[in-house]
Amino acid sequence: MLNACATVPLTGRTSLHLLPDSELLTLSLEQYQTVLKEAKLSNDPQQVQKVKRVGARIAQATADLLREKGLEAEIQNYKWEFNLIDDPKVVNAWCMPGGKVAVYTGILPVAGDETGLAVVMGHEIAHAIAKHGNERMSEGLLVQLGGVGLSVALGTQPGATRDLFMQAYGVTTGVGFLLPHSRLQESEADHIGLVLMARAGYDPRKAIPFWERMNEKGGSRPPEFLSTHPAPESRIANIKALIPEAMRYYQPK
């Protein structure tokens, strides 16, 4: 149990990760390739390049943050990939372990520009480097599959285990429901995401209008990005309180 404890970068929270990174990275690569084969990738070169450009800047900021926090060994686990999935009905984005990122075209109108997209991608990559998915996957294995290890679960209940993985990382394809992030994880992702986008040269103050637009988009049936990422009214107030810290890292590029 002691070996399973890890510290979340920036916030310093101690969290429990029962699953080895090596197993999650292997499963991540496998599932990411499956999603890409089943999805329709965007053929809009400008939008695709925008996703890749913003992703590369956030990825560099992530490496800088991990290095600064003494977690340089973690950097080698990230083999970044950024893909834009053509599905205007899906307002979502996610990041699997190892930096496997997907953005759906449905979220682009809400993002608006590159800075809005940096809010989205910074937030999702923050979940990944904080290893929130490991926490949720661990809880899911304990509750749904009897607490067995990942390799055993894959051997005995491969379909259920893969669905649990997709739920834990907010992937909508082929999954009936998603495991919600806790308010604590959401607060951490907002915090880390603001710092990442600021370090990447995007104005963190633009996160406020993005979340306002996202809340307006929700209506009576919130999009996937809100159903898996609860957005109470207090969220924007919390983000406003975090802006001064993020601004210390912001230098326009």
Catalytic residues: 124
CB atoms within 10 A of CB 5: 10
Q: Which of 183, 251, 240, 192 is nearest to 212 (CA)?
A: 240
Segments in the chain forming alpha helices (H) = 21-38, 45-68, 72-75, 108-111, 114-129, 132-144, 150-156, 158-168, 183-199, 207-218, 224-227, 234-247
Q: Which of 130, 131, 123 is nearest to 18 (CA)?
A: 131
203/56 Cα distance (integer angstroms) = 16
53/71 Cα distance (integer angstroms) = 24
27/238 Cα distance (integer angstroms) = 34
* DSSP structure string for 162-179: HHHHHHHTT--TT-S--P
Range 113-142 burial, b when 16+ CB lie within 10 A, else e = ebbbbbbbbbbbbbbbbbbbbbbbbbbbbe
